[in-house]
Amino acid sequence: MAAKTFDEMRSGAEGAIRDPYRGVAQWLDSTSPERLAATRHEVDQFYRRHGITFGAYGAAEGSETTIPFDIIPRVMAWDEWEYLHKGLVQRVKALNAFLADAYGERKICRAGVIPEKQILMNAEFVAMAQGLKLPGDVHAHIAGIDLVRVGEKDFYVLEDNVRTPSGVSYVLENREVMMRLAPELFSAMRVMPVANYTEELLATLRSVSFGDSHEPNVVLLTPGHYNSAYFEHAFLADEMGIELVKGSDLFVDEGRVFMRTPRGPQRVDVIYRRVDDAFLDPLAMRPDSYLGVAGLIGALRAGRVNIVNALGNGVADDKSTYTYVPQMIRFYLDEEPILQNVQTHRGDRPDDLKYMLEHLSELVVKEVHGSGGKGMLVGPTSSKQEIEEFSQLVKARPDNYIAQPTLALSTCPTFVAQGVAPRHVDLRPFVLSGKKITIVPGGLTRVALKEGSLVVNSSQGGGTKDTWVLAPDA
């Protein structure tokens, strides 16, 4: 990597410990490696016993692994968070305005800011959502914005996730575990709480019901326990005190959605779905889906049930629409973007493509619709042969790829087999949009446990950390 890596603990002036990390540094100094190892072991036991597991896609049934949790928290000062908070609110506002516009009049296309084909030719565009008027014009009710840091003041947005972003249960569980393991740290530092997330989530979901005459009945729709995020679905439903339903628990009658209960059918107003668009309704989308509910889209279009996140949000968060987000912010909000985008080369632009192919060994190349760290090339850490193979893929379908410079992601102290060592991290805060916008301080910090690795995805051997935002003047 060309640039010097920013370490969030040690990159203070003249290599000093940065302010937010003072407490953690002291704790690390005063705790023996053996004690840390024992604590680490305790955590694994805790997670396994509680059944907090993550089934990687493609793994055989019953093969449940836990996502490694790193016991050293990642810390942010209040002013650092305040800055991110402002930038996140701005970005998600713009994304929501874009989605309402994309499925409405498409003013942004007529103004010549974004070509219409970027929306209409997008594989994630859902024609059935065209013209839908949703409560509060909100489409991305829950957004997970992936951020990386490369310097004291330099944050970049790596990716927007506005379909069904997951990971928030780890934010909440990690905090629970951390408070159990190191209560002394919490009494020494004032850490902003995160436990109110589920309450805010429920309030957000309730606030986007179509009807306003009665207490809206909210349910969480899961594909079922074979889904890798099933634990999170159950956890969130439990914390909110709402029903966790599968497609087979719901049915549509005369345009209304009901759930089956032993006392008879009960009306449903808002569905927080963790099922992908294509599987939501076998009548409207994929006919072979067993995960959805026949007639659901009809009920949505009739304004009888709201579906969260909205249908067709994929047009706003793929890696090629990403390049337009700064223009969206200027167009809809008339503001300058607070958070920066990573410079992105698009395979569908001849000049960009030429640059991409000539500089593959320096770039990170990703599929436009890829996720989970699969189908990507990290140039600097790849062999000549891997690069050559990937360049064939790009040449075959240039519009399917984008490329970005390899960022020197910041590092945080992490407990690994050799002891405490710096490892690369990213951050996914969760932004809730309903009647108002709410962000619980912090988010999910993912850490690449392999030395030097920049891939933090849990399906690729990443772990998580508790993320602390220190209270003002702490």
Partner 1 sequence: MLSSTAKNLYWMGRYLQRAKTTARLIEATQRMALQSSGKEAEGVVAIFGMEDEFRQVQEQAAQSQRQGSRRRLSDLVDFLAFDERNPSSIVSSIGSARRNAREERNNITVDVWESLNGLWLELSGKLRGNRAGLDRGALIESVKKQAVMIFGAAQVTLLRDEAYNFLQLGAFLERGDNTARILDVKYHLLMPDGRPHADTLDYFAWSEVLACIGAVRTYRRIYRSALDPMKIAELMMLRRDVPRSVHHCLWMVDLNMRELADAYGTRGEADRLAGELHARLRYARIDAIYQIGLRPFLGGVRADIATLSDTIGRQFLLD
- Give the start-end residues of each E strand in 278-394: 306-308, 340-341, 345-346, 363-367, 377-378
| Beta carbon of residue 169, minimum distance to partner 1 (angstroms, whole number) | 12
Other CB atoms within a 10 A radius of the CB of residue 244 amount to 20
Binding span for partner 1 by CB under 8 A among 81-89, 137-145, 240-248, 286-294: 240-248
Q: Is residue 261 at the binding interface for partner 1, with CB under 8 A as the rule?
A: yes
* Angle formed by the axes of helices 230-240 and 197-207, nearest 10°: 80
Q: Please pick, from the candidates 245, 325, 339, 456, the single residue that binds partner 1 as defined by CB under 8 A.
A: 245
- Is residue 33 a contact point for partner 1 (CB under 8 A)? no
DSSP for 408-444, please give it.
Answer: ---EEEEEETTEEEEEEEEEE-EEEESSSEEE-SS-E
> Smallest gap, in angstroms, from Cβ of residue 239 to partner 1?
9
CA distances from 453 to 34, 132, 408 (A): 26, 43, 11
**Does 199 engage in binding with partner 1 (CB under 8 A)?**
no
Q: Which is nearer to partner 1, 48 or 107 (CB)?
A: 48
What is the size of the binding site for partner 1 (CB under 8 A)? 23
Shortest Å, Cβ 434 to partner 1: 23
Q: Which is nearer to partner 1, 169 or 174 (CB)?
A: 169
Applying CB under 8 A, among 22, 246, 267, 369 the residue interacting with partner 1 is: 246
Q: Which stretch binds partner 1 (CB under 8 A): 255-263, 274-282, 354-362, 384-392?
A: 255-263
Residue 252 in contact with partner 1, rule: CB under 8 A: no
Strand partners, 424: 411
User: Per rule CB under 8 A, is residue 267 in the interface with partner 1?
Assistant: no
Q: Does 259 bind partner 1 (CB under 8 A)?
A: yes
Residue 234 in the binding site for partner 1 (CB under 8 A): yes
Is residue 201 part of the contact set for partner 1 (CB under 8 A)?
A: no
Residue 262 near partner 1 by CB under 8 A:
yes
CB 305, CB 256: distance < 8 Å: yes
Instruction: Indicate whether 248 belongs to the interface with partner 1 (CB under 8 A).
Output: yes
The interface with partner 1 within residues 371-400 (CB under 8 A) comprises none
Nearest partner of 193 among 210, 208, 174, judged by Cα:
174
Distances (CA, A) of 242 to 235, 437, 438: 10, 22, 20
333 binds partner 1 (CB under 8 A): no
Which pairs count as long-range contacts for 118-125, CB under 8 Å and 24+ apart, including other chains? 118/315, 118/320, 118/321, 118/324, 119/315, 122/314, 122/315, 122/318, 122/321, 123/314, 123/369, 124/277, 124/312, 124/313, 124/314, 124/315, 124/318, 124/369, 125/312, 125/314, 125/315
Residue 50 within binding range of partner 1, rule CB under 8 A: yes
Q: How far is the CB of 48 from partner 1 (least distance, A)?
A: 8
Residues that bind partner 1 (CB under 8 A): 48-51, 224-225, 231, 234-235, 237-238, 243-246, 248-249, 259-264
